[in-house]
Structure 1
Amino acid sequence: MEEIGSLIGKILLVGITLMDDEEQLIGQVQVYGPIIHVDGSGIVIKRNGSGTEFYLPPDFSNILPADEGEYRLRSTGDVVVDPDYLSSWTVRGAKLGSLEEYSNNGFPGFEPE
């Protein structure tokens, strides 16, 4: 993978699956946009469409180069063409009300200082 600073401006497509304590699906979140901040405290993308910030943990091993092509978001039908990177997460033990928080902001507690 490239140096983390070189990720700025690259398009990241993120998928988050939320599971409850019984491994039942609560919901899924899919967002994409350019990376606008990256350091040891987390990764921030500027979500396409709304322009809001979306936060991810600083797990750089979970950011993988994307294959060229079209990626359709199940939730919105948006098509992302040739994103630079993909990142997929599964949150186990999530609470029923947490889907909205993850959808709006990403992972809680990873906003950069």
Structure 2
Amino acid sequence: MDDGKPEWSDDLAAKLLGSVVLVGITRRSVSGETLEQFYGTVKRADAQGIDLALSGSRSGESFFLPPDPRAFFPAQPGSYRLRDTGEIVENPDFTTTWTVDRDED
């Protein structure tokens, strides 16, 4: 039965576990768009979601991402600068971007 959810990949889960993921979230609302960027290490990856232990300016926080394997891409080697904080992330393993639409602020 196709419930519209992406099929989870145990192979991707194995690759994600312990990897550094660079995350970009665009939040759109009636008043405009904002971009949030952060990074962290995957401490859990399964069909319920991806749990990140955040690093850098957000060290000590956790963030939970949906279990959509279509959203994770191997990162190109290099230095990535986060817009808001100016932090440099060196050679992350994966990147992921998300868009969140809101009807109100």
TM-score, scaled relative to structure 1: 0.76
Which residue among 15, 24, 30 is the counterpart of 2:37? 30
Q: Check the 8 A contact 1:11/1:35 in 2, yes or no.
A: yes
Residues of 2 paired with 1:94 and 1:81: CA distance? Answer: 36
Q: Check the 8 A contact 1:42/1:56 in 2, yes or no.
A: yes
| Gapped regions of structure 2 (runs ≥ 5) | 1-8
Q: Check the 8 A contact 1:18/1:94 in 2, yes or no.
A: no
Matched residue, 2:4? none
Report sequence identity in percent. 38
Which residue among 40, 46, 52 is the counterpart of 2:47? 40
Q: Check the 8 A contact 1:23/1:92 in 2, yes or no.
A: no
Letter in 2 for 1:42: G
Q: Does 1:71 align with 2:80?
A: yes
CA RMSD of aligned residues (A): 1.9
1:68-99 CA deviation, whole Å, 9 max, x = no partner?
01000001100001000000111112642xxx
Comparing 65-74 with 50-59, greater Cα deviation is found at 50-59
Q: Does 1:81 align with 2:64?
A: no
Matched residue, 1:57? 66
SS of aligned partner of 1:5: helix
Letter in 2 for 1:88: T
| Gapped regions of structure 1 (runs ≥ 5) | 97-113
Matched residue, 1:105? none
Letter in 2 for 1:66: A
SS of aligned partner of 1:74: coil
Between structure 1 and structure 2, the one with the greater Rg is 2
